[in-house]
Chains A and B, each alone.
Chain A
Amino acid sequence: MAKSDVKVLGAWPSPFVMRARIALNIKSVDYEFLEETLGSKSELLLKSNPIHKKIPVLIHQDKPVCESLIIVHYVDEVWSSGPSILPSDPYDRAVARFWAAYLDEKWFPSMRGMASAQGEEAKKAAVDQFVEGLNLMEDAYVKLSKGKPFFGGDKIGYLDIAFGCFLAWLRVTEKTSGMKLLDEARTPHLAKWAVSFCADPAVKDVMPETEKLAEFAKLLAKFKPAPPK
């Protein structure tokens, strides 16, 4: 397929953009990565995602697909001859989708909440939600991986992508808060899984280095004093 057939509008720090890129990498699909500049939105972005004006956007044969998890589904379904991203069994798919939605609706906001929460109580609530989430994911990993290295089994799959994309920001949060969040003592399986995930060929070139992301986080804090959405 011609490279210009597939474009991803995004930015290297975004975990959601990473999901789209990992999915395409799993399928060995060549794509053009069009990076948005911090602080402005390109014409193409505004045209392709007029409703939310957010990244990532996948543009395939001039048709835009928005929302990272919807993009991952789309990539899995279009390039169906490549390695599968979603599990094949409907129940396993439902469980993976459930946890991906949980991560987006509850867990990731709590990670952001830890940095932006005002006051001790709010901060503690965010930390508690975050730690509870990790414990839930540890249990989910044990159940779903069935002794294999990933949530998806032998290879990385939907839930690995949905969760693993947050690892760089998790490490930055550990750095800035001084807290050990992904703790081998508390969640030994996740700690091991994180290493395997980051080393995966589909992941390692799109996972930001912690230092670089930490610098970006400082820049972001100056640029947007209010907590980003």
Chain B
Amino acid sequence: MAEEVKLLKTWSSLFGLRIVWALKLKGIQFDSIDEDLTNKSPLLLQYNPVYKKVPVLVHNGKSISESLVIIEYIDETWKQNPLLSQDPYEKAMARFWAKFGDDKVLSSIWSVFINQGKEQEEALQVAMENLKLLEENLKGKKFFGGEKIGFLDLALGWLANLICVLEELSDIKIIDKERFPLLLGWMQEFSQAPLINESWPPREKLLTKFQIMRENQSL
């Protein structure tokens, strides 16, 4: 049966990028549709009526939303190159840390980025504590998934690119070599890995976008 796989995302969406990586790692052919979120397409509204957000995966006409749910769907539907371990405990750990990444790490780093002065210092403390936990997770491993890129690498992959952009714009070093040697090592390995490296959004465009977001936050 001819598979029809469509991915609705935006050019910069971190969560959309996860799905691009997952599909590429599985060798799945897909059509990519970049949405303009200020002018949402009828397709997006039809396929994600609850949140009206990207990413949305459409597989043979059936839509799936929420990036981590989508990755698990991809892993369960296309069995080659598994992203999650078969071991229930390892799976639980990967899911736990992915949730931690989305719930805590992302927001704490964003706080560092949009704040100034004392608030920024406090935000930095929180971000560092969160990153320390990820650093510990990498002990003895090349990737969070072990020898190969896995579910947790895709879930945290945004770190490997966005951190450099935010550090440049805010002039603060969040992930330094002394404190986070493993994390830095992982960021390099991950961002240069085949299929991952070709998917990054254009850096200059990202710098512009986040600079604007930062200015809007302080208004």
Binding site for B on A (CB under 8 A): 51, 60, 63, 65-67, 70-71, 73-74, 77-78, 90-91, 93-95, 97-98, 101-102, 136
Contacts and interface: CB of A to CB of B under 8 A. Distances in A.
B65 to A, nearest CB: 6
Given A51-B100, A70-B96, A93-B72, A98 B88 contact: no
Contacts of B95: 67, 70, 73
A90 B69 CA distance: 10
Interface in B21-75: 50, 59, 62, 64-66, 69-70, 72-73
Given A51-B133, A74-B91, A98-B64, A67 B99 contact: yes
A35 B72 CA distance: 33
Nearest to A133: B50
B218 interface: no
A51 B69 CA distance: 23
Contacts of A78: 88
B64 A94 contact: yes
B100 A70 contact: no
B99 A77 contact: no
Contacts of A91: 59, 62, 64, 73, 77
Q: Which of B88, B95, B100 has the most CB of A within 10 A?
A: B88
A201 to B, nearest CB: 25
A66 B50 CA distance: 28
A70 B92 contact: yes
A136 B91 contact: no
Contact of A98 (B65, B76, B91, B133): B65
B96 A67 contact: yes
A90 B91 contact: no
B128 to A, nearest CB: 15
30 contacts: A63-B89, A65-B96, A67-B95, A67-B96, A70-B95, A70-B96, A73-B91, A74-B88, A74-B89, A74-B91, A74-B92, A77-B88, A78-B88, A90-B73, A90-B76, A90-B77, A91-B62, A91-B64, A91-B73, A93-B76, A94-B64, A94-B69, A97-B66, A97-B72, A98-B64, A98-B66, A98-B69, A101-B66, A102-B50, A136-B50
Contacts of A90: 73, 76-77
Contacts of B99: 67, 70
A73 B88 CA distance: 8
Q: Which of A67, A98, A102, A136 has the most CB of B within 10 A?
A: A98
B96 A101 contact: no
Given A51-B133, A70-B99, A98-B66, A65 B92 contact: yes
Contacts of A65: 89, 92, 96
A157 B179 CA distance: 44
B53 to A, nearest CB: 12
Given A74-B92, A91-B77, A94-B64, 13 more contacts: A51-B100, A51-B133, A66-B96, A67-B95, A71-B92, A74-B88, A74-B89, A91-B59, A91-B64, A93-B76, A94-B70, A97-B66, A97-B69
A82 B180 CA distance: 43
A101 B89 contact: no
B50 A94 contact: no
B122 to A, nearest CB: 19
Nearest to B77: A90
A102 B133 CA distance: 27
Nearest to A76: B88
3 closest Cβ pairs, A-B complex: A77-B88, A90-B76, A94-B73
Contacts of A93: 72-73, 76
Interface in B61-115: 62, 64-66, 69-70, 72-73, 76-77, 88-89, 91-92, 95-96, 99-100
Nearest to A80: B88
A154 to B, nearest CB: 22
B100 to A, nearest CB: 7
A7 B134 CA distance: 27
Contacts of A63: 89
